[in-house]
Amino acid sequence: MSATNYVSPTSSTSTPTWHHFERKVDEVKPSKTDMNRLVMDYLVTNGYPAAAQKFALEANIEPVDVESIRERVEIRTAIYSGNIQAAIEKINELNPQILDENPSLHFSLLRLQLVELIRSCSVNPDGDITPALEFATSQLAPRAPTNPQFLEDLEKTLALLIYPKENLTPSLAPLLHSDLRRDIYAKVNAAILQDQGARTEALLCDFARLYAWAEQKAREAKKDIPDKLDLGLGESNNSNSTLDNTANAPQLGASNDTVMTNNGDVDSMIS
């Protein structure tokens, strides 16, 4: 097909033509099998059994063993709901060495547990802060001297007891945001997958980073590429948001997968 037969993928008032780079991209399309594998890998790696089952059925591919994902789903549910003690217990049931051999992750979970205790006692002005102080003293204080970052994180977390939630400093406010639960779970999920000898991150995320890196290098080298490149996983054409957009790619099985309950937030994967 000649170049004059190509039309622009976006509407324009000018003569519709494709950039030669877009023509080359269109000529090298991944197979449907490869795309299905990427989606399934994302669902399994990030722990969405209901979505994985539904996608396997709709894409007519071999179903996955969802039971192998259940433990991570239960841990995610516990963390997202603020029940950190239950999450720690479930991790230890899988393999106590996961936390024993990763003191930084263990401390992060304990610190999040302290945040949840502080959140509970600060619901009303007369809330009892004793449970939070006792937990900090018994669980976090002995670990803090072993790492300067641990000590700094503990001091910052205890500062939540001093300031009212509505007047928190920019450095303290993120501690009470649901993103902290999400970030800690991501680390837990990676640690469990690594312990099981699996990939710690979905192939789709690796691909998105590689895509963004390649675009950056091409622009630095002054290559002739379009002003905007779209990976096709979201509305934005800005490759800097590529990694964020990958989280919104599949939207299957939302009714049966975990919902983030804190502050009414829903996990971006299943919103």
d(CA 154, CA 156): 5
In a domain, residue 220? The reply is yes
d(CA 36, CA 174): 36
Report the 10 Å Cβ neighbour count for 74.
17
Domain count of the chain? 2
d(CA 169, CA 215): 37
d(CA 134, CA 36): 50
> 145 and 183: one domain?
no
Mean pLDDT of 1-20: 50
In a domain, residue 184? The reply is yes
> 124 and 166: one domain?
yes
> 35 and 147: one domain?
no
Q: How many CA atoms lie within 13 A of 141 on its CB side?
A: 8
> 120 and 168: one domain?
yes
Residue 234 has a pLDDT of 45
Cβ partners under 8 Å of residue 58, min gap 6: 252
Last residue of a domain, one of 137, 152, 176: 176
Q: For residues 85 and 118, is the Cβ–Cβ distance under 8 A? A: no
> 74 and 194: one domain?
yes
Band (pLDDT 50/70/90 cuts) for residue 119 is very high
> 189 and 170: one domain?
no
Q: For residues 157 and 173, is the Cβ–Cβ distance under 8 A? A: no
Q: For residues 79 and 261, is the Cβ–Cβ distance under 8 A? A: no
In a domain, residue 217? The reply is yes
**Residue-averaged pLDDT of the chain:** 79
Of 41-45, 78-82, 180-184, the least confident: 41-45
In a domain, residue 4? The reply is no
> 152 and 192: one domain?
no
In a domain, residue 70? The reply is yes
Look up the domain containing 222 and give its range: 31-101+178-226
Last residue of a domain, one of 202, 226, 250: 226
Q: For residues 77 and 262, is the Cβ–Cβ distance under 8 A? A: no
Q: What is the pTM of this model?
A: 0.70
> 195 and 89: one domain?
yes
> 124 and 211: one domain?
no
Residue 264 has which token pair? 């009414």
| Torsion sign over Cα 102, 108, 109, 113 | positive
